Amino acid sequence: MDKLRSSACAELAAEYARRSSRFARFETKEVRGGGGSNAEETRQREGERLLGAIEPADTVVVCDERGRQKSSEELAAFLGKRMSQGGAGRLVFVIGGGEGLSDAVRARAAEVLSLSRMTLSHELARVVMMEQIYRALTILANHPYHRA
């Protein structure tokens, strides 16, 4: 995903990354956008960069409005199951840039997750996803952050 332009979104994303790192190893990696002459070329170039940052053993979850929606508890169960497997590469959440994701990136995904049926900017999607990861980690740790 591209670098966050909004300082408010960047601050929130950094805060949720800091909080999440108390429960699990957590890293945010930004991949430079595509920069093509049209939307398809931009998606393809960005997709190549994203795929280049993903290791073969990684489990990839793509955020896309056409994906499956999960509750916070379902996301926590997914993370808990994945974390209990251990040793099998990283769990990588991918959010595309303004032009969306290439078909190749979607094809690499073990799961396509929808944050909302509405279209969100990639900056806001990152904040929402990072808050939900933090929430899922607190659910797994029986931390009082999540009040069901």
Let me know if residue 126 belongs to a domain: yes
**Within a domain: 115:** yes
pLDDT at 57 over 80: yes
Assessment of whether the complete model's pTM goes beyond 0.85: yes
The pLDDT of residue 4 is 55
Cα 23–28–33 angle (5° rounding)?
Answer: 160
**64 and 112 in contact (C-beta within 8 Å)?**
yes
- The helix/strand/coil state of 16 is helix
Q: What is the CA angle 38-32-137, rounded to 5?
A: 120
Tell me whether residue 148 is in a domain.
no
Q: Does position 36 have pLDDT exceeding 80, yes or no?
A: no
Over residues 58-73, the pLDDT tens digits come to 999 999 888 999 999 9
Q: How far apart are CA 110 and CA 94, in angstroms?
A: 11
Are 50 and 104 in contact by the 8 Å Cβ rule? The answer is no
User: Strand locations in the chain, DSSP E?
Assistant: 59-69, 91-95, 111-114
Domain count, the chain: 1
Q: What is the CATH number of the domain that holds 136?
A: 3.40.1280.10
State percent of the chain over pLDDT 90: 66
- 147 located within any domain: no
